[in-house]
Amino acid sequence: MPSYFSDIAPIAFEGSASTNPLAFKWYDRDKLVLGKRMEEHLRFAACYWHSFCWNGFDPFSHDGTFERPWQHMADPMAAARAKADAAFEFFAKLGAPYYCFHDRDVAPEGATPRDSVNNLHAMVDVLGEKQQQTGMKLLWGTANLFSHRRFMSGAATNPDPALFGMAALQVKEAMDATLKLGGENYVLWGGREGYETLLNTRMGQELEQMGRFLNMVVEYKHKIGFKGTILIEPKPREPTKHQYDYDVATVYGSLCRFGLEKEIKVNIEANHATLAGHSFEHEIATAIDLGIFGSIDMNRGDMQCQWDTDQFPNSIPETALAMYLILQGGGFQTGGVNFDSKVRRQSIDPQDMFYGHIGGMDVSARALLIAEKMITDGRVEKAIADRYAGWASPEAQGILAGKVSLDGLAAQVLASGADPRPVSGRQEYMENLLNAFI
């Protein structure tokens, strides 16, 4: 029988003049950008869950809109193998070098915890074979600690220690799977690590539980010799009313409290940033400045909706600023650009999955080229450097180094008799400059 994507040829780069919707206009993987191949800069990954697990269901429908064969098979393991066949055909034809998965994306829940572990082990062997056949690599693995009803009150923050233990089992097995498959990172996604009401919650205890869980994860990483990066994905809400990993700054505060700021970094999702009331670039800049930048999920929200819509990126200016900050911060080390994005439930044809990823990859590639122009041109960085030039003086550096007390500095100001005037921030000029590169 023909495969699910049999009518679609491998996606090639054809250039900006191409009118072929199943071709890249900007993503030329071998193009050099600041001395490094575009593929090596962007490190694209396609996600397993939205692309191959979501069936198009929404809260107002009994059934999903997608009619994908593996979603209608009676044998869960046969469905998992069929899903893997389709997924790796898609990955290979798309040409992204990486993919990402949750444990329950690739292997079904069993009747017992042992059955679930056995299912995962069997499918990890399948994924390993698929990686060898296609050359695909694993950007990161993670555990789904939010879908099953047992985690309705959280995983690491659950009031029942027995369910804390179930979460530990899943994470241990998912970390083993990630190591075996050569994964370059491991992500902790705390979808239900939070609370709905303080009427039934000991927040302090739950935070202590979360801290212990994170330390256990790091301890196990070193025990098994996993050399990749442990990442936390901040998220402010949905499904939980208030989540403990609200944004990058909140995560950093927790890491410092638990002594893990040198061990764990963040995977930043654009849609989560806006749900927290921030911009994507704000969260990236915060993570870089705090030394915990790791990876990104490139997906946008709908500004008319107040939930995580996981749409493919399409804003070149916003993505260009994100890429500029990432390049300025030294680029990705072990992380990359994962598309935690899904086609709309009305986009039901196989080629729609390619359209979404092609568009997202082209937007990111074009943004990378714009960021390169901004860096080589130098005007943006010069304008910022000029604005803060006063802090380069020996006197100002002495203030930052703690060589001057509050009253001592106050005395200096009075003695100088100076009345410094404010200087324009030139926001409009900077916005126009950004648009000039686009």
- State the catalytic residues: 102, 105
Which residues have CB under 8 Å from 72's CB, separation 6+? none
d(Cα 67, Cα 407) in Å, to the nearest integer?
Answer: 72
**Is residue 139 a contact partner of residue 181, using CB atoms and an 8 Å limit?**
no
Structure tokens belonging to residue 133: 């056949």
Nearest to 121 by CA among 73, 74, 80, 164: 80
C-alpha to C-alpha distances, 399 to 41, 127, 346, 417, nearest whole angstrom = 38, 56, 59, 19
**Where are any strands of DSSP class E within 352-417?**
none
Structure tokens belonging to residue 393: 């003086």
Nearest to 145 by CA among 210, 201, 77: 210
**Is residue 52 a contact partner of residue 84, using CB atoms and an 8 Å limit?**
no
**Is residue 188 a contact partner of residue 231, using CB atoms and an 8 Å limit?**
yes
Name the residue with tokens 């049999």: 6
Supply the DSSP string of 171-205, one letter for each residue. Answer: HHHHHHHHHHTT-SEEEE--TT-EES-GGG--HHH
- Report which secondary-structure segment, H or E, holds 120: helix 113-134
Nearest to 94 by CA among 359, 382, 381: 359
d(Cα 100, Cα 296) in Å, to the nearest integer?
Answer: 12
d(Cα 200, Cα 292) in Å, to the nearest integer?
Answer: 33
